[in-house]
Amino acid sequence: MRNRHGRKFKCAGRWTAARQAILDVFLNRGGHLTADDVFMEVKKRAPGVGLATVYRNLDFLSREGLVSRFQFSDGRAHYELNDDEREHHHHLICKSCGNVSDYSEFIHRELKLMKDLEKELSKKHDFNIDSHELHFYGVCGDCRE
Amino acid sequence: MRNRHGRKFKCAGRWTAARQAILDVFLNRGGHLTADDVFMEVKKRAPGVGLATVYRNLDFLSREGLVSRFQFSDGRAHYELNDDEREHHHHLICKSCGNVSDYSEFIHRELKLMKDLEKELSKKHDFNIDSHELHFYGVCGDCRE
DNA sequence: ATGTAAACGATAATCATTATCACATAATCA
DNA sequence: TGATTATGTGATAATGATTATCGTTTACAT
């Protein structure tokens, strides 16, 4: 398996053409893609790849930590590339058009709160916290017009 | 339509027996229920009510603001009664058993951050924010054993 | 009491996702 | 390098959650 700069790095399974094509979609297009978004995009560069393979590999890439999986209120899973160079961020979801945008305002203050919360919740609720998600729902400028 | 204390209050549609039976499930049992949870519970007190009616009314009650709808990462919608007497709270979701528990630690500090964020995001991203969701994912004490 | 739009129950249809299975192939080792 | 083998793949069936349809019932304004 090669990373986006062409250097090898280890992964749990085999590195296949389908797997690379799916990762390429995220590297080239980015965004918060559903399985079907990825499927349609992957067909352009690797027409043979089936939808089941897309699902399997989104799960794989997610387990490998290369992408993150989010469940917004539209009922479909959304996947996003884990880019080390990008800032930690959260999501604004438009309830009208479903578009997702990122924000990273007050991230430092937010992360401080999250850290304090995680410590407190682990203790009081006997709960080992792995991750958190903060989503804002509303209506974007385009939809308000 | 009558509220939990038997007093009338206005609602957008008709107040039916099925609707009342579904609301009763939340009033008596509470928690973070899926449509199927509600269906199984409602069958006990109102055996004739169909699953489609449960879905229709969860949507109705949600639009009326009597319940809130949450999408956790298990793919199913979860509904919770909006109880004025309860503190604002958020959710801890166990990735192993799917159980959801509430927490309200640091709520004051959290709400302050959310308010600041909403103001900032509305301005910078031209986004009218209606609501936010903060979910922590992890493993509960029971599942760790 | 009655007319009518809203809601109902049953069930078919849809949509996202997962399972199955015969075939292909990436990685290992001779 | 070439044979071996477990892992991955494509096509498609199956599943599970939710929504749409349709003929019947019913809440409620008149």
Q: Which pLDDT score, from 0 to 100, does residue B63 have?
A: 95
Is B47 a residue whose pLDDT tops 70?
A: yes
Inter-chain CB proximity B92 and A140 less than 8 Å: no
Model pLDDT for residues B1-39, shown as the tens digit of each residue: 445 434 445 688 999 999 999 999 999 988 999 999 999
List the single protein residue with the shortest CA to C1' distance from D26: B16
CA distances from residue A10 to A6, A7, A15, B74 in whole angstroms, order as listed? 13, 10, 9, 29
Considering the segment(s) A1-86 as one domain, its CATH architecture is Orthogonal Bundle (1.10)
Q: Do A1-86 and A87-145 show the same overall fold?
A: no
Q: Which nucleotides of chain C are near protein (any atom < 7 Å from a CB)? A: 6-12, 15-20, 25-27
Mutate to test the interface with B, among A95, A117, A124, A139 (most CBs of B within 10 A): A117
CATH class of the domain at A87-145: alpha beta
Q: Between B106, B128, B130, which is nearest A113 by CB? A: B106
Structural element, H or E, at residue A110:
helix A107-125
Helices (H) and strands (E) in chain B, counts: 5, 6
Question: Where are the domains positioned within chain B?
Answer: 1-85, 87-145
- CATH code for the part of the protein at B1-85: 1.10.10.10
Q: Could you give the angle at the alpha carbon of B94 between the alpha carbons of A136 and A26, nearest 5°? A: 55
Return phi, psi of residue A110, to 5°: -65, -50
Inter-chain CB proximity B128 and A138 less than 8 Å: yes
Residues paired with B81 in a beta bridge: B67
Structural element, H or E, at residue B103:
strand B100-103
Residue A121: both structure tokens together: 């919740």
Q: Between A73, A120, A139, which is nearest B71 by CB? A: A73
Nucleic strand C near CB of residue B13 (< 7 Å): yes
Per-residue pLDDT tens, chain A, 145 aa: give them: 444 434 445 688 999 999 999 999 999 988 999 999 999 999 999 999 999 999 999 999 999 999 999 999 999 999 999 988 888 888 999 988 889 999 999 999 988 998 999 899 999 999 999 888 899 999 999 998 8
List the single protein residue with the shortest CA to C1' distance from C26: A14
pTM (2 d.p.) = 0.90
